[in-house]
Amino acid sequence: MDVAIIGLPMSGKTTVFNALTRGNADTTGASEMHVGVVKVADPRLYVLADIFHPRKIIHAEVKYQDLPGPESLANSQGLSGKYLNVLQAADAFLLVVRTFNDPAVPSAQETIDAGRDLSAMLDELTLADLLVMDRAIEKLQEGLKKAKTSDRTGITSQIDIAKKAKQGLEAGVPMWRQQLTGSETAFLHNYQLLTYKRVIVAFNTDEDGPEVSLEQLELAGESSSGLGYVSLCGKLEADLALMSEEEAEEFRTSLGIEDSAMDRVVNASYDTLGLVSFLTVGEDEVRAWSVDAGMPAQEAAGTIHTDFTRGFVRAEVIAYGDLIRCGSIAQGRKEGLLRSEGKTYGVKDGDVINFLINV
């Protein structure tokens, strides 16, 4: 999963990046992008490793890309500038919103207002998509003038789809919430619109809180619906990330913090995007794979190797809890807990799967 970190200048965006990735990126306003990869904690892998004794344990991973914030919302390029391709390739956005007060870190907007800043960044995503749609409509209309009679019906239909998407965006409805047909979605997919991406808001608080939730903010329009969120102190978590795991755990316990920022953000990301992890086991490796909840088994097989989608025969599936109780795949088969599922089977979290492939 690729997550792009966005936010206004002085929001503590890079500090949050350091907290998530155990990094030490420059937080003094550098303009370059930072990239870090973290492993998704999954205790089930270690339990399975005790049974199968694999040579490797491989966790699912999240790649975080910390993008420089727009220098000003008056900047005509906004989020449509230098890093647009990175934003388009991301699976989701982690939008850092400042709620902390620190005189040493002046606010880009002079005052601290989480609702205002969140709305401004959501508007930036919408504006970037509106710009793309405007250009698309203009280009399609130019093409219509030169098109053969036989091609005009198709181009006219594409113009109507682009205008429909634009109208929804102007009404404050992000692309992922717009009511579109399969063919309309397929056409618009070519434009890699940013509001198709899900957004997880990270409220960057003071060390002593208070925690912030979306419900506390007065946000208008549908652009704020369906957001995930997490509340954390970026500065504190970045300091803890530089400690040993034992020291950090002891410090968190003393502060009454149950989970690390990384775990909380990953959990919020999985919940917001509707992701689950299926597991594969064997002598070579025990591994977790992240997919959309309910993804058909044939498509899930393709996350291991694209050839597996084409050669899919069936999936042998046993629930993690059943496998642990049985102690082995063979015993699970004897007890009838190992099931044979077809290509349309919807994958569930904790499914231990062996794909049978025709090569």
Say if 118 falls within a structural domain: no
Say if 227 falls within a structural domain: yes
Identify whether residues 151 and 85 lie together within a single domain: no
**pLDDT of 93 strictly over 50:** yes
Residues 6+ apart with CB under 8 A from 6: 13, 67, 69, 79, 87, 93, 94, 95, 96, 121
Identify whether residues 210 and 151 lie together within a single domain: no
Number of H helices, E strands in the chain: 13, 12
Distance of CA 45 to the CA centre of its chain: 22
**Whole domain around residue 65: which residue ranges?**
2-40+59-111+196-273
pLDDT digits (tens, 9 = 90+) for 195-216: 999 999 999 999 887 788 787 7
The larger pLDDT score, comparing residue 173 to residue 27, is at 173
d(CA 213, CA 203): 8
Average pLDDT for 89-95:
95
The larger pLDDT score, comparing residue 78 to residue 94, is at 94
Q: Percentage of the chain surpassing pLDDT 70?
A: 93
**CATH value at residue 151:** 1.10.150.300
Identify whether residues 78 and 16 lie together within a single domain: yes
- Give the ranges where 62-109 is alpha helix by DSSP (H): 84-89
Taking phi over 0 as left and psi of -120 to 50 as alpha, with beta for the rest, 168 belongs to alpha
Say if 280 falls within a structural domain: no
Say if 252 falls within a structural domain: yes
Identify whether residues 9 and 71 lie together within a single domain: yes
For 1, counting Cβ atoms within 10 Å of its Cβ (0-12 exposed, 13-18 middle, 19+ buried), the class is middle
Identify whether residues 157 and 230 lie together within a single domain: no
Identify whether residues 306 and 349 lie together within a single domain: yes
Whole-number mean pLDDT of the chain?
90
Say if 283 falls within a structural domain: no
pLDDT for the residue numbered 78: 54
pLDDT for the residue numbered 81: 67
Identify whether residues 106 and 227 lie together within a single domain: yes
Say if 107 falls within a structural domain: yes
Identify whether residues 11 and 104 lie together within a single domain: yes
pLDDT for the residue numbered 23: 86
Identify whether residues 19 and 100 lie together within a single domain: yes
Q: Which amino acid makes up residue 102? A: D
Average pLDDT for 338-342:
96
Identify whether residues 188 and 299 lie together within a single domain: no
Mark which of 194, 211, 232 sits at the end of a domain: 194
Mark which of 194, 214, 245 sits at the end of a domain: 194
Provide the pairing of β-strand 275-280 with 285-292.
antiparallel
Say if 286 falls within a structural domain: no
pLDDT for the residue numbered 71: 53
pLDDT for the residue numbered 213: 79
- Give the ranges where 97-181 is alpha helix by DSSP (H): 114-146, 149-170
Mark which of 146, 169, 194 sits at the end of a domain: 194
- Give the strands of the sheet with 2-7, arranged side by side: 34-39, 61-66, 2-7, 92-98, 198-204, 228-232
Q: Which single residue is written with the structure tokens 């809890």?
A: 321
**CATH value at residue 25:** 3.40.50.300
Distance of CA 344 to the CA centre of its chain: 25
**pLDDT of 79 strictly over 70:** no
Q: In total, how many domains does the chain have?
A: 3
**CATH value at residue 306:** 3.10.20.30
Identify whether residues 237 and 105 lie together within a single domain: yes
Biggest CA-to-CA distance, the chain: 74
pLDDT digits (tens, 9 = 90+) for 50-74: 999 999 999 999 999 998 766 544 4
Say if 45 falls within a structural domain: no
The larger pLDDT score, comparing residue 49 to residue 252, is at 49
**pLDDT of 224 strictly over 90:** no
* pLDDT confidence bin for 226, thresholds 50/70/90: confident
Average pLDDT for 84-101:
93
> DSSP string of 118-139?
HHHHHHHHHHHHHHHHHHHHHH
pLDDT digits (tens, 9 = 90+) for 299-314: 999 999 999 999 999 9
Identify whether residues 154 and 245 lie together within a single domain: no
